Chains A and B, each alone.
Chain A
Amino acid sequence: MSDDNKIKIFLVDDDVVYLKMLEIEFLNQGDFIVETFSSGKLCLENLRNQPDVIILDYLLDGIDKNAWNGIDTLDKIKAVNPGVPVIILSQQDKIEVAVDCMHHKALDYVVKSETAFVRLQKIIKDIMEFQKMKNKLGWYMERM
């Protein structure tokens, strides 16, 4: 698979160990290009690299109180590029958090657990499928 066909993902997490682990998982799959950022700010600064999907940690300001939290970052991303799908990762399996994320236009909400990676993969696949369909539909609509 050439790099053009690969899906570019941004991973954002202040937990560098988890971040690396996730990167390895995605790279193992072979059909992803991965860029990792340890803060929301860094992610936003690189948004011009046009990620296909962003995976964003919910609690980015746990240790560094001055850092943007996940929701702040999400808002800023959506302000710049409303179309990019963002999936929120969180350790907390709480309905309030999940709903909060949806309100801020997150595409999905995944709890950090053993199955997190599998879920992420599945969601990304669906997104890509969905986008392909959307593009096709757009193309036909134009023809009509």
Chain B
Amino acid sequence: MQYARSMVAASLDPLIAISSEGKIIEYNQAFANMTGVSLDALKGTEFLNYFNKSKNARGFLKAINAREEVIDVALNLKDQANKTIKVLINSSALKDENDTIIGAIIVAKDITEQNKISAELTEAIVFAEMATAVAEEAKIKADEARRIAEAAVKSKQQFLSNMSHEIRTPMNAIVGFTKVLLKTDLSPKQKEYLAAIKTSGDALIVLINDILDLSKVDAGKMVFEEIPFKISNSVSAMLHLFELKAQEKNLSLEKEYDQRIPEVLLGDPIRLHQIILNLVGNAVKFTSKGFIGIRIQMLEEDHEKVLIEFTVRDTGIGISEEKIPYIFENFQQATSDTSRIFGGTGLGLAIVKQLVEAQGGKVKVESKQDQGSTFQFSLHFKKTRQEALPETIIPKSDTTIKNAKILVVEDIPLNQLLMRTILDDFGFECDIAVNGKIAVEKVQSKAYDIILMDLQMPEMNGFEASIYIRKKLNMQIPIIALTADVTTADLSKCKAAGMNDYISKPLDEKVLKNKIMFYLAKSAMKKQNAPIKKGEKKYINLQYLIQRTKSDPLLMTEMISLYLGQTKSLIKDMKESFQNKKWKELKAIAHKMIPSFSIVGMGIEYELLAKNLLEHAGKQDKKVEIENSVKELEKVLNYACQELEIEMNLLNKMK
């Protein structure tokens, strides 16, 4: 007991033993210190008297008697000076030999300090939270500011883009009509003035397109395609554009092409054109004597890609050293005089830089004033086994195709008039639909050979109309997009919508005509492709029939089936009468054949075979000739019948 008493006395926390009635039996110095009551005076006093809210304390006493332990109960102890001390009470029961509770041992730990720290902590947390809120608010403000700034940039871009777009449409009409006008009878003066209008218009369109391109790169909307193309053809075609200009200025245009470069590569030919066009264009513009050199070299090659370096060198005015860092910025030219002397907008190199860098390349420039400049960039191209896409323009214009029916889908009246003027000029029949919806209706009621489709239209735009024609109507009629905005993104959208090709505005009449011819020829070829091998000669031409029957499929099939029936029996009769040497009959057969050649559009050379037969049949000295004629006629007529059967099948499907 003495031992226990010493332990109690040694504790720094107040320790008290009480009886089950609540009288203090044992205590230590720490408790006396806490209460401020002297050691001796404490003994036998009511434990509960030392608490502020004796109610809470009584409950605690009850709990002690009922249970064995009390853990961490917070109570308010009051000292002699009536000051409240927060304590945390822990106690365990005090039992006699019979295990009856006779009191409790209590530890009362002063938690004033702890509470203070905890209060401080809480306060700190509150402050921290407030600070966070302030920070967040600041962030929201910053975000808002950034959003506004971005929106401002975006709306600037949008404005530029919209403006350019809006300007481009009337510009296209101006240039288009100027071209039409230039073809009419004009006095030399008038011609000169119109040429000036056209040059200015072209220049404006170039500027507008440049702005649009830049705003696209800025907006991250520029998409680069990977399509198989022939890089050497691409480059040659571009240089070809400058030949005349170089000649005029008496510059030599030298091309150096690395023959090791694979013929077909994957890349974006349109963008490559644009880059080289700008660089070579500048070279020609800023050089008055000497030469322009274009070198295309393969730097690296592995099994999947090649690195190709393009170098454009000129002997022109050059760029001073301090100006070089600025030349790639928008609307910058090397000197402020530059645009006055040489014209141009200062967007060309900015576009070059953007286009090259967006494809992971870098543009380098070396230049010495008055000696010339060298621009260099290198790009990676993937290798491919695919064949290059066919050149869309077939330069030969096939005059045999006439009476083509073309549907022009265009909402702007000026452009409608322009298209009609040009197409009339070509001798094509043309209908106008003012939007996609009307176009869709028209293609269902009339057979068109080609649709020229504007993209931006009210009601139903060009993409939607094309998808409708391909998917819903299941029609394979060639659709050529008319777009003022030739970017690869648009092109792939056109392709995805099922369009076959595009023509950029302002319309180049030659391109338009060639493309129309190409697709007319292609669909004509498709029609008779099946058993006749590709590229083989075609014997029939249904133009005459189409014209005569006004394309009525019913009448055409009637005509063709009559022809097939009659011709097949004529071929048989011809063979028989030739074998049996019945010359008179052979003559009669030849005679009967003759009118049909022109009806199915077979060439005069075949008609001559029949005429030959008519003339010579029965003549002893012409035996070989007769035999040849019979054999040849049999062959070509059989071919013609085959072709006509295919045509008839197609017509039957159309009915």
| Alpha-carbon separation in the docked complex, A17 to B558 (Å) | 9
Q: Complex: how many Å from CA A68 to CA B566?
A: 19
Report the bound CA distance from A18 to B594 in whole Å: 10
Q: Report how far A21 CA is from B566 CA in the complex, Å.
A: 14
Does B588 belong to the interface (CB within 8 Å)?
yes
Pairwise interchain contact B550-A28, C-beta atoms closer than 8 A: yes
Q: A17 and B599 in contact (CB under 8 A), knowing A62-B588, A62-B589, A63-B588?
A: yes
What's the tally of chain A residues with a CB closer than 8 Å to chain B?
16
B618 CB to closest chain A CB (Å) equals: 15
- Chain B hits for A14, CB < 8 A: 592
Contact partners of A91 in chain B: CB under 8 A: 591, 594-595
A133, CB-defined interface residue at 8 Å = no
B635 at the interface (CB under 8 A from A): no
* B588 contacts A16, C-beta separation under 8 Å: no
Residue in contact with A16 in the complex, picked from B549, B550, B555, B565, CB distance below 8 Å: B565
Q: Tell which of A16, A112, A114 touches B566, judged by Cβ atoms closer than 8 Å.
A: A16
In the complex, A20 has a CB within 8 A of chain B: yes
Interchain CB contact under 8 A, A21 and B559: yes
Q: Does A35 contact B (CB under 8 A)?
A: no
Grouping DSSP codes into helix (H, G, I), strand (E, B) and loop, the B interface class, with mixed when no group exceeds half, is helix
- Chain A neighbourhood of B245, CB < 8 A: none
Interface string of A17-51 (1 = CB under 8 A from B): 11011001100100000000000000000000000
Closest-CB distance, A93 to chain B (whole angstroms): 12
Interface 1/0 per residue, B552-596 and A, CB below 8 Å: 000100110011011100000100000000000100110110111
B548 in the interface, Cβ–Cβ < 8 Å?
yes
Contacts of B595 in A (CB 8 A): 15, 17-18, 91, 112
Q: What distance in Å separates the Cβ of A112 from its nearest Cβ neighbour in chain B?
A: 5
Out of B567, B573, B594, B599, which one reaches A21, CB within 8 Å?
Answer: B599
* Cross-interface CB contact of B599 among A18, A28, A59, A63, cutoff 8 Å: A18
- B598 within 8 Å of A by Cβ? yes
B: number of interface residues (CB 8 Å):
22
**B548–A15 CB distance below 8 A:** no
CA distance A17 to B597 in the complex (A): 10
Decide: A63 and B573 in contact? CB cutoff 8 A: yes
A112 vs B597: C-alpha distance when bound (angstroms): 12
- A63 — which chain B residues lie within 8 A by C-beta? 573, 585, 588-589, 592
Chain B contacts for A20, CB-based, 8 A? 558-559, 562
With the chains together, A61 CA to B592 CA distance in Å?
10
| B592: contacting residue among A15, A24, A28, CB under 8 A | A15
Which interface residue of B548, B558, B589, B592 has the most chain A CB atoms within 10 A? B592
Contact of A24 among B548, B563, B596 (CB under 8 A): B548
Partner of B548 from the list A16, A25, A62, A112 (CB cut-off 8 Å) is A25
- Nearest-neighbour CB distance to chain A for B240, whole angstroms, equals 43
**A18, B596: Cβ atoms under 8 Å?**
yes
Q: Which residues of A contact B548 (CB under 8 A)?
A: 21, 24-25, 28
Q: What residues of chain B lie closer than 8 Å to A15, measured between beta carbons?
A: 566, 592, 595-596
Report whether A114 and B598 are in contact in the complex, using a CB–CB cutoff of 8 Å.
yes
A25–B552 alpha-carbon span in the complex (Å)? 13
Q: Tell me the minimal C-beta distance from B629 to chain A in angstroms.
A: 17
Q: Do residues A17 and B596 form an inter-chain contact, with CB atoms below 8 A?
A: yes
* Cα separation A59 to B598 with both chains bound (whole Å): 19
Considering the complex, give the chain A residue whose CB is closest to the CB of B559: A20
Q: Is the CB of B566 within 8 A of A17?
A: yes
Chain A residues near B566 (CB-CB < 8 A): 15-17
B589 contacts which chain A residues (CB < 8 A)?
62-63
Q: How far is the CB of B67 from chain A (nearest CB, A)?
A: 118
* A18 CA / B562 CA spacing, docked (Å): 9
A24: chain B residues at CB < 8 Å are 548-549, 555, 559
CB distance from A38 to the nearest CB of B (A): 10
In the bound assembly, the distance between CA atoms of A62 and B594 in angstroms comes to 13
Q: Would you give the shortest CB distance from A119 to chain B, in whole angstroms? A: 15
Per the 8 Å Cβ criterion, residues 583-636 of B in contact with A are: 585, 588-589, 591-592, 594-596, 598-599
A25 to B555, CA, bound (A): 11
The one of A21, A25, A59, A114 in contact with B591, judged by C-beta atoms closer than 8 angstroms, is: A59
Taking a contact as CB atoms closer than 8 A, the residue among A16, A28, A62 that contacts B562 in the complex is: A16
Least Cβ–Cβ distance between B523 and chain A, in angstroms = 24
Known: A24-B548, A28-B548, A59-B591. A17 touches B598 (CB 8 A): no
Inter-chain contacts of A112 with B (CB < 8 A)? 595
Chain A residue with Cβ nearest B550:
A28
- Closest B residue to A18 by beta carbon equals B595
> Measured between C-beta atoms, what is the minimum distance from B272 to chain A in Å?
52
Q: How far is the CB of B209 from chain A (nearest CB, A)?
A: 49
Instruction: Report the minimum CB–CB distance from A32 to chain B (whole Å).
Output: 15
Shortest distance between the CB of A20 and any CB in chain B (Å): 5
Nearest A residue (CB) for B569: A63
Nearest CB in chain A: distance from B354 CB, A: 61
Closest to B614 in A: A91
**For the complex of A and B, 6 pairs with smallest distance between CB atoms:** A62-B588, A18-B595, A17-B563, A17-B596, A16-B562, A20-B562
9 A-B residue pairs with Cβ-Cβ distance under 8 Å, sorted by A, are: A17-B567, A17-B599, A18-B595, A18-B596, A21-B559, A24-B549, A24-B559, A62-B592, A63-B589
Q: Give me 13 other A-B pairs in contact (C-beta within 8 A), A59-B588, A91-B591 excluded.
A: A14-B592, A16-B562, A16-B566, A17-B599, A18-B596, A20-B558, A20-B559, A21-B548, A59-B592, A63-B588, A63-B592, A91-B594, A112-B595
